Amino acid sequence: MASHAEAQKWGFRITPIRVLLLLLSAVATAIIIYRLVTGLGTVTNLSDEWPWGLWIAFDVMCGVALAGGGYGTALIVHVLHRDYFLPIARSAMLTSLIGYLLVMAGLFLDIGQWFNFWRPFVSWGHSSVLFEVFWCVSCYTTVQILEFAEIATERVGTKFHNIAKAALPVLMIVGIIFPTLHQSSLGGLYLLMVDKLYPLWWSPIIFLFFLISSFFVGPAMICVETTLAGKAYDHWIPIPILRKLIRISGYAMIVYLILKIYDLMSRDVFGLMFNGTFEANMFLIEMVFGIIIPIFICFSGFSASRTGLFVFGLLVSSGVVLNRMNVVIIGMIRSTGVSYVPSLGEFIVSAGLVAMGVLAYCFIVENFRILEHDDHHAMPPNEQPS
């Protein structure tokens, strides 16, 4: 006898917002095809003087960081056995999986000769940091796809469900190792930029800053995602769960802030943040709104409300995005002497990839047990959004 999940029809609600997302995805797909046929120069404003632009800064650097909620949640729930956070495990894993698939797409699009994408699989550049990043991101994305099999086989290929479930603990452990490597290695790429990256961002421990920020942004993204999912699907994660989760993020941010201050002072560049330059102002915005204010929110009574949790998540996520954009673009302008403004095509493709991710999330949530794998969490009457 077929289970209820197997008998359930496939569905995908069409709303005005989703129509706009579908149109944006279609336009982005057309531009992507045109870029693959004609090359980078016809679609982007990249050059030999400025080879890394929006697709690396946002689609890859930001995408990898924001998708880090998967490994952080897996570490907390499945390795440290904090089952208290189990209700958010599947949604965090799904967001991470979609994020990494989009990162792979962005990385693929930024390869000049994209048809040579397979070469790192057979040409092993052991001394290259990019080679390590390529392999770790590829392997982790594969692991996440295999992890999703435990969810997928609840409805499709149910005879393999027990196998997928049995393999999950091993996949979880492996899936925690790879992100710690490539999250830090993405920062390690800029160790080579000692004379190019502005001193407020360059650091001999920039790899550690990238790793810590990829960890504390995970709970922040979960706050944003659960708030939006709650409004869309009336499935609300209890506030105490989210509040305890962001406390973990808050402690990590305190460590990050202390290390950042120590690093700036030890290199005698602490005063640069107050010299009024464009770089200094961008750095201050990043630190104040992305780190300091969220720390206060995290340990204040404001975090006991859904509004506070959402504001915390939005500020931290935006702060990490700004940090990656500062490192890849803002911090490099002064040394290169070259101005770079992303083309309209670059913006549309990046926005289109995000639209595709949102649509994929909605489809999977509406057809698999992502939010409803435990007891349904309805928002209490006193928590109803205004």
Share of the chain above pLDDT 90, in %: 52
Mean pLDDT (the chain, rounded): 87
* Percent of residues in the chain assigned helix, strand, coil, to nearest 5: 75, 0, 25
- Average of per-residue pLDDT across 58-87: 73
Q: Mind listing the pLDDT tens digit for each residue in 270-291?
A: 999 999 999 999 999 999 999 9
Residue 80 is predicted with a pLDDT of 57
Q: Is 293 exposed, middle or buried (0-12, 13-18, 19+ CB in 10 A)?
A: middle
Share of the chain above pLDDT 70, in %: 89
d(CA 205, CA 51): 24
d(CA 258, CA 261): 5
d(CA 137, CA 4): 36
In the structure, what pLDDT confidence band is assigned to residue 2 with cuts at 50, 70 and 90?
very low
Please count the other Cβ atoms lying within 10 Å of the Cβ belonging to residue 46: 21
- Average of per-residue pLDDT across 353-359: 96
Please count the other Cβ atoms lying within 10 Å of the Cβ belonging to residue 301: 8
In the structure, what pLDDT confidence band is assigned to residue 67 with cuts at 50, 70 and 90?
confident
The answer to whether residue 120 scores a pLDDT higher than 90 is no
Residue 326 is predicted with a pLDDT of 95
The answer to whether residue 91 scores a pLDDT higher than 80 is yes
Q: Mind listing the pLDDT tens digit for each residue in 298-349?
A: 999 999 999 999 999 999 999 999 999 999 999 998 888 888 899 999 999 9
Residue 375 is predicted with a pLDDT of 47
Residue ranges of the domains in the chain? 14-189+340-370, 198-339
In the structure, what pLDDT confidence band is assigned to residue 66 with cuts at 50, 70 and 90?
confident
In the structure, what pLDDT confidence band is assigned to residue 5 with cuts at 50, 70 and 90?
very low
In the structure, what pLDDT confidence band is assigned to residue 83 with cuts at 50, 70 and 90?
low
In the structure, what pLDDT confidence band is assigned to residue 6 with cuts at 50, 70 and 90?
very low
- Of the candidates 23, 321, 39, 62, the one whose C-alpha atom is nearest the C-alpha of residue 183 is 62
The answer to whether residue 59 scores a pLDDT higher than 60 is yes
Segments in 126-238 forming alpha helices (H): 129-152, 161-188, 206-233
User: For 14-189+340-370, CATH number?
Assistant: 1.20.1630
For the whole model, what pTM was predicted? 0.87
Q: Mind listing the pLDDT tens digit for each residue in 160-172?
A: 999 998 988 788 7
Which residues 6+ apart lie within 8 Å of 386 measured at CB?
A: none
Residue 213 is predicted with a pLDDT of 94
Residue 65 is predicted with a pLDDT of 86
The answer to whether residue 296 scores a pLDDT higher than 80 is yes
Residue 381 is predicted with a pLDDT of 47
Q: Mind listing the pLDDT tens digit for each residue in 208-249?
A: 999 999 989 988 998 998 899 888 888 888 899 899 989 989
Angle at 376 between CA 84 and CA 163, to 5 degrees: 70
The answer to whether residue 68 scores a pLDDT higher than 80 is no
Question: Can you read off the two tokens belonging to residue 4?
Answer: 């209820």
In the structure, what pLDDT confidence band is assigned to residue 378 with cuts at 50, 70 and 90?
low
Angle at 174 between CA 168 and CA 177, to 5 degrees: 145
Number of H helices, E strands in the chain: 16, 0
Question: Can you read off the two tokens belonging to residue 350?
Answer: 């990046």
Residue 232 is predicted with a pLDDT of 86
